[in-house]
Amino acid sequence: MGAKGHRIYPFHLGDIDLPTPRVVTEAMNTAIADGKTGYCPGAGIPALREALADDVNMRRGTSYTPENVVVQPGGKPVITKFLQAVMNEGEEVLYPNPGFPIYESQIEYLGGIAKAYRYVPTERGFAIDLDQVESLITPKTRAIIYNDLQNPISAESTDAEREAVAQLAIEHDLWVLSDEAYFEMRYSGESKSIASLPGMAERTVILYTFSKKFAMTGWRLGAAIAPPEIAGVISTMNTNNESCTTHFIQYAGAEALRGDQTEVKAILDTLRGRRDAAFDVLSTIKGVTIAKPESTFYLFPDVTEAMAAKGIEEVNAFSTEALHATGVSFCTRKHFGRPQPGEDRDYVRFAYSGLPEEHIRGGLGLLKSWIES
């Protein structure tokens, strides 16, 4: 539609249209000029592994060393390599649904049994159905994927919920993948990691990514922060899969962590303004129910009544008709895992990270007019 001249408002893609901080790009250019263009250790260069261990410990209250850090070409590879390290074919892995769709696809691709756990709506947003999680655990369950500050629903665990998940993992001897991609993408409060709870560091792999905080989505830089035995397996996988993460980009990552944070803070301030703009419009649309999250860069409103008012019964049809009528593109709940039995509400996801405030207000204003017409 865009190629045909239609104006598109791309709320569907969780990318960031803001520039990577200059200190990061300058560090990369310097590394290239200095000849950091060859192979490097599969686990990552020492400077970056040390910087990551220090940064993670400072923000999470943990005690990792560089030996716990395995650099990756992005955050996604951590999901696959975690599963390869801890799961055999036919074993079960619990994962959040709705959730990042790569969890479900990778579990099944690698021969595992993907068992979805759900969220329930509350006044503050969404909460994990802990009773359901416990009911899903069997002797074949090997791991649970846990995404605090969650994509797509922006859910954030309370201390009690996080501790309950940790207790289940300990009681049933489960490995935990803690996807912390949005750990620092928050507008108030303080993030906490499940890995910092007693008994959890030795069974948890943290997924770390530079994509969000530093606006480095296309750079493909991340890390697994893992117990030594799992870090060693993932490091071996690195050597076999890609040899190493791009050498000069790792120096940029080290500077991102240790260098001036002025532009990094500006990214978060800009995203806060975009969140407020998107929420301001969506919360006024008749038939739309939405909570205001304090983290990530997504909004996940209930559009059940809005769909009924438009006479549309299926949520993907709703998104298609909205796109053609307004140019506003967004994902639906069905993009984030197969719907579970008993779901009777329809949700959609808006990513506001790739549009300036004026386009957010303009596009969502068109959507509001269409829904209410």
Each residue's pLDDT tens digit, 37-50 = 999 999 999 999 99
Each residue's pLDDT tens digit, 82-94 = 999 999 999 999 9
- Which of 341-371 are b and which e, b meaning 16 or more Cβ less than 10 Å from the residue's Cβ? eeeeebbbbbbbbbbebebbbbbbebbbebb
User: Domains in the chain and their CATH numbers?
Assistant: 9-16+263-372 (3.90.1150.10), 22-258 (3.40.640.10)
Residue 124 has pLDDT above 90, yes or no: no
pTM summary value: 0.96
Give the alpha-carbon dihedral of 156, 160, 161, 162, to 10 degrees: 80
Token code pair at residue 141:
């369950």
Q: Distance between CA 240 and CA 258 in Å, rounded?
A: 30
Beta-bridged to residue 196, according to DSSP, are none
Each residue's pLDDT tens digit, 18-27 = 999 999 999 9
Q: Token match 């895992």: residue?
A: 337
Band of pLDDT at residue 225, cut at 50, 70 and 90: very high
pLDDT at residue number 99: 97
Band of pLDDT at residue 58, cut at 50, 70 and 90: very high
Could you write out the DSSP letters of every residue in 204-242? EEEEEESTTTTT-TTT--EEEE--HHHHHHHHHHHHHHT
Residue 122 has pLDDT above 90, yes or no: no
Share of the chain above pLDDT 90, in %: 97
pLDDT at residue number 125: 86
Each residue's pLDDT tens digit, 308-348 = 999 999 999 999 999 999 999 999 999 999 998 889 999 99
DSSP state of 244: S
Average pLDDT, integer, range 127-152: 97
Band of pLDDT at residue 73, cut at 50, 70 and 90: very high
By CB atoms closer than 10 A (0-12, 13-18, 19+), residue 253 is buried
Residue 217 has pLDDT above 90, yes or no: yes
Average pLDDT, integer, range 139-166: 96
Band of pLDDT at residue 123, cut at 50, 70 and 90: confident
Each residue's pLDDT tens digit, 271-280 = 999 999 999 9
By CB atoms closer than 10 A (0-12, 13-18, 19+), residue 17 is middle
Q: Are 224 and 70 in contact (CB under 8 A)?
A: yes
